[in-house]
Structure 1
């Protein structure tokens, strides 16, 4: 028994005529008769009996018709549900980034994209690079934003979307607050705030950045806490330059030393299909990197 047989049975029962039913179903009468015969054979009852050129549904057919309609209606409801889920899924973009990128680059990208496309919704979280790659492979994440692409799986494609420079942030009342630039050697007596979480993605430690081991006052795991500690005067920090820095309570100072850049890559699973909205977002992020 299959859905096609149930649909044929329902239309014949409603029209009580094989010719009319075959026209509605766009199927030949022999094929229609064969399908009904197989259904009657499986059910071991006669569903119709002929009355001249017309047919009449039997008591067995009347009894079965109710369940056939219910089954077909349930299937239609199921199809509509799946369509609804698919449409909702097409409207949701799941992204994951390392903590540092999630605190600096992602809010700026999402805010900018909303001005371009107000229809979509985002599911966002911060994870380690390893967790992001795993999520891309199993399809739980649409796009990952990472800095390290050396160990990417062959199924994962990536593109450079941003090179962020490092800057120094200090509280507004700090002695360096009014300086435009500073050398790292001038910070040896300062207390630093540093990330302590591997998902922060500070690919260079402070020792690597400034060439000496600084005095660390605190090691928060989230950027908002780090910025809050700096604003409160607990210490200074080296972070990525971003429009998201709150300059009302923090001064941003350029670093004269060459610290290079943090490269931000957008990655996705090239084997998984993308909705139009996801393709739109991917192209938008890439185009932003080119401007």
Structure 2
């Protein structure tokens, strides 16, 4: 049994026709028939029921197709992983992060690493967490940076390590009556209008039900997190965000929140049992050293 026979078998199963399958994979029909006959002889079961025009899978064929699909998928993943390993040996590190994390966290991390490894090249994308996890599983990226969500808690294929915690704070315009306060309680914001960016963790910033007895008023929900600061500065409303260096304190005031509403935690993740390149491993260890 060889890879070619498995690919032939899969294509015939898909087309249910030897002639069509032979055309699609650019092989003669006699050669295709001979390869499948050898496979059936080796397995000692018929894989196809031959009819006048088409063929259909036998019960043996249906069962074997499930394992054939898995085997070909694993081989494809292995090929992709080797391609990325080759690229990484040339200095490339393939990573992705959510848009917010990529805006204010990743530039500092990458800049710091380049100061000690200046020849490194990064392949870097902004993606939703779900796409990052998918690409990690498929070997399209080596490392991902995201905020952990419920889907990750049940995902056993991905190793997720917290690398950064950021306290949530309230930001208001400079002319807002709370601008000169150092601390405020969520209970005192009942009459305020909130600006909320909803990503995959929808409504998370307004879900503090144990601290408040009201439903916050939402004045606007921008499509980009980067719009929050500008809208707050313009007096459209107030918002709760992670305390990051990107908050423009020239136009905004940062106010601590009295209640302990937790932190935004940034996670770094990779596919368990995957073979990371030397450069990727070096970068991963660098990020972990900053914890």
Note if contact 1:104-1:240 (Cα within 8 Å) is conserved in structure 2. no
- Higher mean C-alpha deviation, range 273-282 or range 122-131: 122-131
The reply to whether residue 150 of structure 1 matches residue 172 of structure 2 is: no
Aligned to 1:123: 123
Distance 1:202 1:89 in 2: 39
Say if 1:180 and 1:119 are closer, same or farther in 2 by CA, change over 3 A: farther
Is the partner of 2:259 in helix, strand or coil?
coil
Say if 1:158 and 1:225 are closer, same or farther in 2 by CA, change over 3 A: same
Aligned to 1:73: none
Determine which of 219, 223, 235 is the counterpart of 1:233. Answer: 235
Alignment of 1:95-106 (within 5 A): 95-106=95-106
Aligned to 2:183: 181
In structure 1, runs of 5+ residues without a counterpart are 1-81
Is the partner of 2:101 in helix, strand or coil?
helix
Alpha-carbon shift at residue 136 of structure 1 (Å): 0.2
Distance 2:92 2:215 in 1: 44
Note if contact 2:89-2:278 (Cα within 8 Å) is conserved in structure 1. no
Is the partner of 2:159 in helix, strand or coil?
strand
Aligned to 1:138: 138
Say if 1:116 and 1:248 are closer, same or farther in 2 by CA, change over 3 A: farther
Is the partner of 1:208 in helix, strand or coil?
coil
CA RMSD across the alignment? 2.6
Distance 1:190 1:87 in 2: 52
Alignment of 1:43-192 (within 5 A): 86=86, 90-146=90-146, 147-148=148-149, 149-154=152-157, 156-192=158-194
Note if contact 2:171-2:253 (Cα within 8 Å) is conserved in structure 1. yes
Alpha-carbon shift at residue 286 of structure 1 (Å): 0.6
Alpha-carbon shift at residue 240 of structure 1 (Å): 0.8
Is the partner of 2:232 in helix, strand or coil?
helix
Aligned to 2:222: 220
Distance 2:91 2:263 in 1: 34
Note if contact 2:171-2:232 (Cα within 8 Å) is conserved in structure 1. yes
Say if 1:127 and 1:223 are closer, same or farther in 2 by CA, change over 3 A: same
Is the partner of 1:131 in helix, strand or coil?
helix
Distance 1:240 1:104 in 2: 11
TM-score w.r.t. structure 1 length? 0.62
Aligned to 1:56: none
Alpha-carbon shift at residue 202 of structure 1 (Å): 5.9
TM-score w.r.t. structure 2 length? 0.62
Greater gyration radius: 1
Is the partner of 1:243 in helix, strand or coil?
coil
